[in-house]
């Protein structure tokens, strides 16, 4: 997979966003092991923009490491400053799971109250009806009744 190509403005924006980040992956003397690749991939999936710390003193080796990581993980190399590397990859879309046991949420309901004489305008009132409430025909909000527990359970 080729590394992502970014414009200089996009790279500058990501560099600014990464300024306050702490390194999430440390690369030791063994270099790119499968464990390092897996952790870097996991961090990119979770955060999108990450910092890595390389413990090697070889500058050319660190530059090659950044290019190799970007190539293998389909990410964009953002910055190499000292022993810190910054990578970015767009976050994957999250799946929205619909729960079947989910209860209804609050609703805003408009209630019209007409005047008895008919000479005045109807009054509009907005009410928030929660999931455990219902609206009667007269415009009154009824709540669910509390469960009655026995006296034996209340004492223990």
For 90-128, what is each residue's pLDDT tens digit? 998 888 888 888 777 888 988 888 888 878 888 888 888
With cut-offs at 50, 70 and 90, classify the pLDDT of residue 152.
Answer: confident
> Residue 155 pLDDT > 70, yes or no?
no
What's residue 135's pLDDT?
82
Q: Which residues pair with 1 in a beta bridge?
A: none
> Do 84 and 21 contact (CB within 8 A), yes or no?
no
Contact present, 54 and 85 (Cβ < 8 Å): yes
58, 55, 61, 89: which is closest to 75 by C-alpha? Answer: 89
Tokens of residue 88, six digits: 């970015």
Q: pLDDT per residue over 41-85, tens digit each?
A: 999 999 999 999 999 899 999 999 999 999 999 999 999 999 999
Query: What pLDDT is attached to residue 101?
Result: 81
- pLDDT computed for residue 18 by the predictor: 94
> Residue 1 pLDDT more than 60?
no
Q: 3-class DSSP state for residue 129?
A: strand
């Amino acid at each position: 997979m080729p590394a992502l190509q970014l414009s200089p403005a996009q790279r500058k924006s990501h560099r600014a966003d990464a300024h306050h980040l702490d390194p999430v992956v440390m690369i030791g003397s063994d270099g790119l092991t499968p464990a390092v690749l897996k952790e870097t991939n996991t961090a990119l999936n979770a955060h999108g923009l990450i910092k890595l710390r390389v413990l090697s003193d070889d500058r050319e080796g660190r530059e090659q490491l950044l290019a190799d990581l970007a190539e293998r993980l389909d990410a964009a190399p953002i910055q190499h400053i000292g022993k810190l590397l910054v990578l970015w990859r767009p976050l994957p879309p999250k799946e929205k799971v619909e729960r079947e046991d989910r209860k209804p949420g609050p609703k805003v309901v408009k209630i019209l109250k007409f005047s008895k004489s008919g000479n005045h305008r109807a009054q509009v009132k907005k009410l928030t009806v929660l999931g455990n409430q219902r609206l009667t025909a007269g415009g009154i909000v009824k709540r669910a009744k509390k469960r009655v527990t026995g006296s034996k359970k209340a004492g223990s």
